[in-house]
Amino acid sequence: MSSGRDRGCPRPCAPRASSATRGQVGGAAFALTAGAGGPLVVPAAIDWGRVQDLAVTWLPIVFMGLIAVVLVMTLRYMPRTKPQTLKPESAGSVRWDDVAGVDEAKEELREVVEFLRDPRRFRKLGARVPKGILLHGPPGTGKTLLAKAVANEARAAFFAQSASSFVEMFAGLGAARIRRLFRAARKAAPAIVFIDELDAVGATRGRDISGEKDQTLNQLLVELDGFSEHEDVVVIAASNLIEKLDPALLRPGRFDRRIFVAPPDLRGRKEILRVHARDKPLAADVDLDLVARQTSGLTGADLANICNEAAISAARDGRTVITRRDFDRAIERVIAGAESRRALTEHEKRVVAYHEAGHALCSELLPRVEKVHRISIVPRGRALGYTLNLPEEDRYLKTREELIDYMVVLLGGRAAEQEVFGEVTTGAADDLRKVHEISRAMIAEYGMGSELRAKQVPTDDYSLSDATRRLVDEEQLELAALAERRARALVSEHRDRLDALAQALLERETLERREIERLVGGGRRQHHGRASEHDTPRSPAAGAPALQHATATTEPSG
């Protein structure tokens, strides 16, 4: 008989679960007993509605808490963007003597220096210093250097920050940084606030989808308007794209003065080279005036780089002075790129030699093109060879015939390939790009077409009719075709000189001016008719194309 124990069970065992509860896993707990003979406890089902209510209540709170933690950690470890601060007479200060080649801009800024030094003298006469000064021009012309020199000469604190660092991923951060920058400047007055790359936040409003840049610009306008007449704080900004700035920035009372900082002329380049070479030991054969003539069109930053590269070249060779050869290497490196070790096949060398000889031959035979200074088939950067032309003087205006001659020179390399090998290669890609830019500018900007004369046709104007666009394209193709015909005629007529130049290049790889004159023989330079009185001059602000930079045979970018 069973007495409440199962046989073989040494201690009281729980009764077996009834068939009604056997197999229930989810929705009910298993039966438990409190002791021998205890009653069977049947658990109640889990209240899933209650669980759902708790989840709906607490999960959003937990989620928002996690987001808050992430934001706090992001702000804590985000790089802090602080303005560069320079005190007068510090190690990083710049003097007027350190700034060369920008005499007009220096004269404009001297008044700001005088005001910050002695503001009472100006206020007695009812004059007020301009709140803002905008320096605009190509990169590398010395805009930042000018601002530092003004701060040092005026004995004012200098706060510099790039406009691109104002805007971050969080809304309102740019405006907050603007406020913090100007607050620090007011406390340190007299002070100069320098904002580089102003176009990063100063572009015309309404184009930013997020609105963050517009909000930052609005705060900048508020700060500019908030200056009182007795606050000795001047804002100097720099931009390479003044045409993209919002008109509200340029109105009087904000940026009162706009100063164009142009690339230096011959005299300016001489001064810049002397500034950067004054602490360098130069050999007796170094002629900085010659270097200045060889670097027409380059900026102050380029010239500083040339002086530095020349010093590196001398140190690399273990010499204690910098020679003329070091400067020649430095100019080649800055203009054409570093020398490459790539190996060309014999056929490719011949193609490159004839290509560069074609450029040089056309340059020597055309009357309105600068003389060739050097030809080389030594690969540099992406260029497999280059022809370097140097102007005898700085010029800012170009006639229609001069621009056509320039395109003839650019297409001379391609014409030489066609003349000698019966086919063209990809080496003229950069030449074709420049021909396209010049011919397009001649028609659309300078009114130098046969039908489109005395009229600008902005090709990005969507209101232009299809007929006008088609006419621009046709006139552009006509100019390019004219230049190509002239180039092919020149290399065909003077094939013997072309062969002589190419053969000398294959033997020596680099030819200098004296050797080029001997090979070409001082032949008659070809005239294709005089420039008519209707030739439209090229605008100096647009930057006339010049051959002082290398005309190169390039490898395809793809």
Say yes or no: 235 and 281 in one domain.
no
Give the number of other CB atoms < 10 A from CB of residue 95. Answer: 11
**Domain span including residue 455:** 346-554
Say yes or no: 523 and 402 in one domain.
yes
Sign of the Cα torsion 17, 19, 23, 26 reads negative
Say yes or no: 406 and 538 in one domain.
yes
Look at residues 449, 365, 379, 374 and name the one whose alpha carbon lies nearest to residue 412.
365
Say yes or no: 459 and 538 in one domain.
yes
Q: Is residue 155 part of a domain?
A: yes
Per-residue pLDDT averaged across 232-257, rounded? 87
Say yes or no: 100 and 222 in one domain.
yes
Say yes or no: 207 and 351 in one domain.
no
135, 140, 324, 539 from 245: Cα distances, Å: 13, 20, 44, 21
CATH code assigned at 120: 3.40.50.300
Q: Is residue 511 part of a domain?
A: yes
DSSP 446: S
Q: Is residue 279 part of a domain?
A: yes
Domain boundary among 205, 240, 260: 260
pLDDT digits (tens, 9 = 90+) for 69-82: 887 776 665 555 55
Q: Is residue 42 part of a domain?
A: no
Using DSSP's 3-state secondary structure scheme, residue 531 falls into: coil
Domain boundary among 244, 260, 276: 260
Say yes or no: 97 and 192 in one domain.
yes
pLDDT, residue 390, reads 80
Q: Is residue 2 part of a domain?
A: no
Cα separation, 17 vs 12, whole angstroms? 15
Lowest mean pLDDT among 74-78, 349-353, 384-388, 429-433: 74-78
pLDDT digits (tens, 9 = 90+) for 131-185: 889 999 999 999 989 988 888 888 888 888 888 877 765 666 778 888 888 888 8
Q: Is residue 403 part of a domain?
A: yes
Higher pLDDT, residue 90 or 533 = 90
CATH code assigned at 443: 1.20.58.760
Catalytic residue among 108, 356, 401, 484: 356
Say yes or no: 165 and 243 in one domain.
yes
Domain boundary among 199, 231, 260: 260
Longest pairwise C-alpha distance within the chain: 137
Cα separation, 222 vs 208, whole angstroms? 19
CATH code assigned at 288: 1.10.8.60
Say yes or no: 124 and 272 in one domain.
no
Per-residue pLDDT averaged across 322-343, rounded? 88
DSSP 282: B
Say yes or no: 202 and 129 in one domain.
yes
Whether a cis peptide bond, with omega within 30° of 0, leads into 247 is: no
Instruction: Determine whether 515 is an active site residue.
Output: no
Give the number of other CB atoms < 10 A from CB of residue 352. Answer: 28
Q: Is the predicted pLDDT of residue 3 greater than 50, yes or no?
A: no
pLDDT, residue 557, reads 52
Amino acid symbol at 182: F
Q: Which two tokens stand for residue 369?
A: 């093109």
Q: Which two tokens stand for residue 320?
A: 């204690």
Structural domains counted in the chain: 3
Per-residue pLDDT averaged across 285-309, rounded? 92
Amino acid symbol at 507: E
pLDDT, residue 271, reads 95
Q: Is residue 8 part of a domain?
A: no
Buried/exposed 98-108: b ≥16 CB within 10 Å, e otherwise = ebbbbeebbeb
CB 452 within 8 A of CB 443: yes
Lowest mean pLDDT among 38-47, 360-369, 397-406: 38-47
Cα separation, 175 vs 181, whole angstroms? 10
Average pLDDT over all residues of the chain: 81
Lowest mean pLDDT among 72-76, 291-295, 499-503: 72-76
pLDDT, residue 550, reads 57
Q: Is the predicted pLDDT of residue 8 greater than 80, yes or no?
A: no
pLDDT, residue 72, reads 76
Say yes or no: 255 and 304 in one domain.
no
E strands, 49-123, where? Answer: 84-86
Helix axes 495-508, 346-365, angle to 10 degrees: 130
Say yes or no: 190 and 270 in one domain.
no
pLDDT, residue 151, reads 84
Task: Give 538's pLDDT tier (boundaries 50, 70, 90).
Answer: very low
CB 193 within 8 A of CB 182: yes
pLDDT, residue 310, reads 96
Global model pTM greater than 0.85: no
Q: Is residue 513 part of a domain?
A: yes
- Helix, strand, coil percent content, the chain, rounded in steps of 5: 50, 10, 40
